[in-house]
Structure 1
Amino acid sequence: MIKAVLFDLDGTLLNRDASLLKFVEGQYDRFSNWLTEIPREKYIARFIELDCRGYVWKDKVYQQLLEEFNVTDLSWETLLQDYITEFHHSCIPFSNLRRTLECLKNHSIQLGMITNGFGQFQMDNIRALGIQGYFHTILISEWEGIKKPNPDIFHRALLQLQVLPNEVMFVGDHPINDMKGAKDAGMWTIWRRDIQWKKVDTDYIIEDLNEIPLIIQQLNKS
């Protein structure tokens, strides 16, 4: 019997690729006076490339970006601060996000979130999506002092929700941080398919969040 569902954030609930594109377009416009010699499309494309889908922190991205484009009158610290304070205004959810959370909640499924990242930054993004109130617990790696795929952060969520590992489904997009981490903690797993990964060890695969309630319903009937 599945009693709780835990979610990753980036790439699972938050459409990070679309959100990042929206943010970078806006950032270029905000700092266009300093970037006039750089074509808008070229700046945006190179930022996204250096970002490596979020696995390179932005201090390195901005330093490399300004060096490559030979920008000397704008600091990487200024751009980084803009990212920290402005990104949440660009947050775009995946389709059926709130509908899925509402459906699970209406079926008495406890909801939690485990995400790697910086505490306040991730919490601002969660609030921007308007979903904080759905979750019984939210664990962010910076604030917890431990990150996925370490099973201990998954166990911490279990304790807070007061459920057993085999009563929990974890939904994420990363094969190691999410799927392996959750499996090592004894949980069921749902992989939200990401085209960059070809083969992932998981119990279920989904294309859309609205598939989750049906999976839970079928599993609880078996």
Structure 2
Amino acid sequence: MIKAVFFDLDGTLHNRKTSIVPFIENQYERLFVYFSHIPKEEYVSRFIELDHDGYVWKDKVYGQMIIEYNIIGITCEELLKDYLTEFKYHCLAFENHLEMLSQLKKQGLLLGIITNGYGQFQLDTIRALNIEEYLDVIIISEWEGFKKPDPEIFERALKKLGVNATESVFVGDHPKNDIEAAKNIGMITIWKRDLTIKMVQADYIIDNLLEIPRILQVMEKEKYS
């Protein structure tokens, strides 16, 4: 019997690829006095390239931008602070995220987040998506001292909810950090398809979050049929 569903955050519930564009455009416009010598489209595209889907922390991104474009009058630290303060106002979720979570709660399931990243920043994202109230546990790598794909971060989440890996589902978009790591400790895996990645060896594959409640219902029916 499935008792809990855990989610990755960025790329699974949080549509970060969509969120980053309005943020960086807004930053460019707000701080235009420092970027006026750089075409807006170039500033945005170079930031996104250096950001590498969020896997490069922004101190390095801004440091490189300052060097490449000879940005003066504002420091890397100030740009990073702006990112930490303002990004949450641009966070966009994938379609149907609240309806999906609501359906899972109605099915009596425990829900959690297991995400890599900085604690307060990721918590701000969770709150911006209005999903905190649905969650029974939030596990963020900075606060735990372990990051995916380390099995310890998954084990801690399971322990906090008092469930076994075989009673749990993990939903994520990253082939190694999410799907392979969760599968290795015995969790059922659902891959949120990323069209930039080839096929992943997950138990289930989805394109829309609303597929998740239906998958779990089918799993329960198959178990008792």
| TM category, shorter | over 0.9
> 2:216 is matched with which residue?
216
CA distance in 2, matches of 1:27, 1:150: 35
Whether the 8 Å CA contact 2:169–2:189 is kept in 1: the answer is: yes
Question: Cα deviations across residues 114-145 of structure 1 (Å, max 9, x unaligned)?
Answer: 00000000001101111101011000000011
In the TM superposition, what are the counterparts of 1:151-190 in structure 2 within 5 Å? Answer: 151-190=151-190
**Distance in 2 of aligned mates of 1:12 and 1:177:** 12
CA distance in 1, matches of 2:155, 2:75: 41
- 1:18 is aligned to 18
Deviation at 1:45, TM superposition (A): 0.6
**Helix, strand or coil for the counterpart of 1:33?**
helix
The amino acid of 2:78's aligned partner reads T
| 1:72-91 equivalences in 2 (<5 Å) | 72-91=72-91
Moved over 3 A (4+): none
Q: Which amino acid aligns with 1:104?
A: L
Query: Shift in Å at residue 210 of structure 1?
Result: 0.5
User: What 5-or-longer segments of structure 1 have no aligned partner?
Assistant: none
Q: Tell me which amino acid in the other structure corresponds to 1:143.
A: W
Determine the structure 1 residue equivalent to 2:110: 110
Partner of 2:138: 138
Amino acid at match of 1:19: S
Partner of 2:149: 149
Normalised TM-score (structure 1): 0.98
Show the counterpart of 2:204. Answer: 204
How far does residue 177 in structure 1 lie from its aligned partner after superposition?
0.5
SS of structure 2 residue aligned to 1:101: helix
Q: Name stretches of at least 5 consecutive residues in structure 2 with no aligned partner.
A: none
Name the CA distance, whole Å, in 1 between partners of 2:112 and 2:22.
27
What's the Cα RMSD here? Answer: 0.8
Query: Residues 34 and 72 of structure 2 are in contact (CA less than 8 Å); yes or no, is this contact kept in structure 1?
Result: no
State the secondary structure of the residue aligned to 1:209.
Answer: coil
- Mapped to 2, the partners of 1:169 and 1:55 lie a distance apart of 24
Cα deviation 1:63-82 (Å, max 9, x = unaligned):
11111111122211111110
- 1:41 — aligned with what? 41
- Measured in 1, the distance between the counterparts of 2:185 and 2:87 equals 32
Letter in 2 for 1:103: Q
1:19-68: per-residue Cα shift (whole Å, max 9, x none)? 11111011001100111111111100100011000111101100111111
Instruction: Report the alpha carbon displacement of residue 162 of structure 1 after superposing the two structures with TM.
Output: 1.2
Give the TM-score of the pair, scaled to structure 2.
0.97
Alpha-carbon distance in structure 1 between the residues aligned to 2:112 and 2:32: 40
Report deviation, 1:107: 0.7
Letter in 1 for 2:151: P
Q: What percent of counterpart residues are identical? A: 55
